[in-house]
RNA sequence: GGCCCGUUCGUCUAGGGGUUAGGACGCUGCCCUUUCACGGCGGAAACACGGGUUCAAUUCCCGUACGGGCUACCA
């Protein structure tokens, strides 16, 4: 069921790697579009040349690709409302800004950044800590409202740098209904005359955003709460353009907060808490600006999606595990919470564990393959699949597959000495060596037969499982932890198993 | 400082004028088990505070406190 009237966009700035809050914004937009049968598009807001980072746009798209919620319109993706990169729309914004000046809704301002800084400092010195360029102070600044028409024309003609500022009306109340917060209002007397067009001819976020959302027929603006205060300006802009009738609806998402401490989640929290805050790895010139992502930490994309979906939203039922398609079905804006949500890494890991348990073993093996290769281990595909099957219940992250089960690949490197010395003695050794013989001579080398054979041996000799099993386990794995001993033996194969057991006897003796 | 937004277990949250305030993560006890894990069954743990309104307020209103965001020719 498709609905051409529902169009939403994800509009990031390519200033660096896309952080996890941005991913969640993209996700909510995607889910909303899917739920409503609408369109989800990507728009790159690259109007700040100073902060532009070349690789960032590619990173954003790679990330969306990894999660599997790629927009259907965007740079390099087609769509009839392009271009979808704002830098490529530069000329258009200038025209719209000029139109606003002609209609008396905006004005030229000639104050240089230095002059503005000086003005702010001067006001601060006078005890005024909140100078703003507003409907009062504009009368004392250098702009087309205070300058004569001739002077303005002269400055424009001379090529002097100028900005175009929104002429915020006096004494009005701007009220709108936010889809998550309800009615919100602002007094225009508290609002500053935002710069619409910068000295370099580029639009600011405010202008570009409104023009593009209008031209791209955006029906719902779903974005972070940091944009709530500027929404008043945006509404004023829609009015100035006389686009209010088709103005999109707004939904401001609660922010994602630090796991502990004050403030919103930042990129530095990743290093601080040893957890990912970006979807994919990002390589920067400075080591401190380089990061590993959720992917490299060993997360499955759908687990991250499920986790993120629940950071600020819930379905109102007790179901927690949702596939992406279930999420699309269940999603609704009115279930989005209002308060900021702390980033809970433990919960993220729990989601991942749940998804790994439920994942096809074949797929896990494919994901683990490159990790195994990176370690230099050489194993067959059959081995890897069986190994993943054996380990998937005791793994939280994909990287755990090579860490907690490393002895499968490289043999036993360290033994649990304490548990050995507690159990090892001459008598036990005799039984243990008989046990090796049984394994060595086993004709049906599979877990079930081996278990029967070993248990029979134990019973016939009046031994206890508790004396031999732990030693068997330690001999094979070095540790008391791990999967079923007989399944381990089957996977390791006869030669490897017997080799490990013999090596262990020697080690146990010398302990 | 000003403006705007928010506040239910440690965390994510459900709920909503009368509930034993529900679930999940984490923590913890027991069971399962040759170990670890998985799984199952339990436990501790919350309505920020003060005033109203009301027969009744955690729920509605107002304050306060606390938290968050914005306050750039950044987005």
Question: Per-residue pLDDT averaged across A95-116, rounded?
Answer: 97
Query: How do residues A137-166 score in pLDDT, each as one tens digit?
Result: 999 999 999 999 999 999 999 999 999 999
Q: Separation of CA A484 and C1' B13 in angstroms?
A: 38
A105 has pLDDT over 90: yes
Q: What is the mean pLDDT of residues A5-21?
A: 97
Dihedral over Cα of A16, A21, A24, A29: its sign: negative
Q: How far is the CA of A340 from the C1' of B40 (A)?
A: 35
CA of A198 to C1' of B25 (A): 47
> Closest nt to A354 (CA→C1')?
B38
Q: Three-state DSSP class for A253?
A: strand
> What mean pLDDT do residues A11-40 have?
97
Q: Is the pLDDT of residue A511 over 90?
A: no
Amino acid whose CA is nearest the C1' of B39: A393
Please give the Cα distance from A5 to A233 (Å, whole number). Answer: 24
- Chain CA centroid to CA A396, Å: 18
* Protein CA A346 to sugar C1' B14 (Å): 21
> Which nucleotide in the DNA or RNA is closest to residue A209, CA to C1'?
B75
Residue A124 CA, nucleotide B36 C1', distance (Å)? 64
In eight-state DSSP terms, residue A244 is G
The Cα A61–Cα A69 span in angstroms is: 10
Proportion of chain A above pLDDT 70, given as a percent:
100
Reported ipTM: the value is 0.96
Give the percent of chain A with pLDDT over 90: 87
Distance separating alpha carbons of residues A210 and A364, to the nearest angstrom: 45
CA distances (Å), origin A3, targets A7, A40, A245? 9, 12, 19
| E strand or H helix that includes residue A65 | helix A56-67
Q: What is the pLDDT of residue A391?
A: 97
Give the model's pLDDT for residue A1: 67
**pLDDT tens per residue, range A217-240:** 999 999 999 999 999 999 999 999
Catalytic annotation, pick one of A90, A267, A347, A494? A267
Predicted local distance difference test score (pLDDT) of residue A419: 87
Whether the per-residue pLDDT at A182 is higher than 70: the answer is: yes
Provide mean pLDDT across the span A166-171: 97
Q: CA gyration radius for chain A?
A: 32
Mean pLDDT score across all residues of chain A: 95
Over 90: is that where the pLDDT of A466 sits?
no
The residue assigned the tokens 């007790």 is A318
Confidence of residue A174 (pLDDT cuts 50, 70, 90): very high
Q: Provide the positions of strand B that have an atom within 7 A of a protein CB.
A: 1-8, 10-15, 22-26, 34-39, 67-75
Q: A487 an active-site residue?
A: no
- End-to-end distance of chain A based on CA atoms, in angstroms? 71
Q: Report, as an integer, the average pLDDT of A72-94.
A: 96
State the Cα–Cα distance between residues A81 and A90, nearest whole angstrom. Answer: 15
Burial of A129 (0-12, 13-18, 19+ CB in 10 A): exposed
Residue A291 has which token pair?
A: 């990061």
Q: Which two tokens stand for residue A284?
A: 């920067």
Residue A444 has pLDDT above 90, yes or no: no
Give the mean pLDDT of A383-390.
96
Closest nucleotide to A472: CA versus each C1': B34
């Amino acid at each position: 069921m498709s609905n051409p009237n529902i169009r939403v966009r994800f509009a990031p700035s390519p200033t660096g790697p896309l952080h996890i809050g941005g991913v969640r914004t993209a996700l909510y937009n995607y889910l909303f579009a899917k739920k409503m049968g609408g369109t989800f598009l990507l728009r790159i807001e690259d109007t700040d040349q100073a902060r532009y980072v070349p690789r960032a746009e590619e990173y954003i798209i790679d990330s969306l690709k990894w999660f599997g919620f790629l927009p259907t319109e965007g740079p390099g993706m087609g769509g009839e409302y392009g271009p979808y990169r704002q830098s490529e729309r530069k000329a258009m914004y200038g025209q719209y800004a000029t139109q606003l000046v002609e209609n008396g809704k905006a004005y030229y301002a000639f104050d240089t950044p230095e002059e503005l800084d000086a003005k702010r400092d001067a006001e601060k010195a006078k005890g005024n800590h909140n100078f703003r360029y507003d409907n009062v102070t504009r009368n004392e600044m250098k702009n087309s409202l205070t300058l004569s028409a001739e002077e303005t024309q002269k400055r424009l003609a001379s090529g002097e740098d100028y900005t175009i500022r929104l002429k915020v009306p006096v004494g009005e109340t701007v009220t709108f209904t936010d889809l998550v917060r309800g009615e919100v209002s602002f007094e225009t007397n508290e609002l500053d005359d935002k710069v619409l067009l910068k000295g370099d001819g580029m639009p600011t976020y405010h202008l570009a955003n409104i023009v593009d959302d209008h031209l791209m027929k955006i029906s719902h603006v779903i974005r972070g709460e940091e944009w709530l205060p500027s929404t008043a300006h945006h509404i004023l802009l829609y009015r100035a353009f006389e686009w209010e009738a088709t103005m999109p609806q707004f939904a401001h998402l609660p922010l994602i907060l630090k796991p502990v401490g004050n403030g919103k989640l930042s990129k530095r929290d990743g290093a601080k808490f040893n957890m990912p805050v970006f979807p994919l790895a990002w390589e920067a010139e400075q080591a401190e600006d380089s990061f590993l992502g959720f992917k490299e930490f060993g997360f499955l994309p759908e687990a991250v999606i499920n986790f993120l979906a629940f950071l600020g939203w819930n379905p109102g039922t007790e179901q927690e595990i949702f596939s992406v398609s279930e999420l699309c079905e269940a999603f609704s804006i009115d279930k989005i919470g209002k308060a900021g949500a702390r980033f809970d890494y433990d919960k993220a890991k729990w989601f991942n564990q749940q998804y790994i348990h439920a994942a096809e073993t074949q797929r896990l093996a494919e994901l683990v393959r490159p990790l195994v290769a990176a370690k230099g281990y050489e194993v067959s595909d059959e081995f890897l699949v069986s190994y993943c099957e054996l380990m998937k219940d005791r793994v939280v992250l994909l990287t755990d597959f090579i860490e907690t089960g490393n002895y499968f690949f490289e043999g036993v490197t360290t033994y649990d000495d304490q548990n050995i010395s507690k159990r090892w003695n001459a008598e036990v050794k005799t039984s243990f060596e008989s046990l090796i013989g049984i394994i060595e001579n086993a004709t049906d080398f599979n877990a079930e037969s081996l278990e029967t054979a070993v248990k029979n041996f134990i019973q016939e000799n009046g031994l206890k499982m508790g004396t031999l099993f732990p030693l068997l386990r330690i001999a094979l794995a070095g540790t008391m932890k791990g999967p079923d001993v007989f399944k381990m033996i089957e996977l390791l194969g006869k030669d490897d198993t017997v080799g490990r057991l013999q090596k262990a006897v020697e080690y146990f003796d010398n302990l």
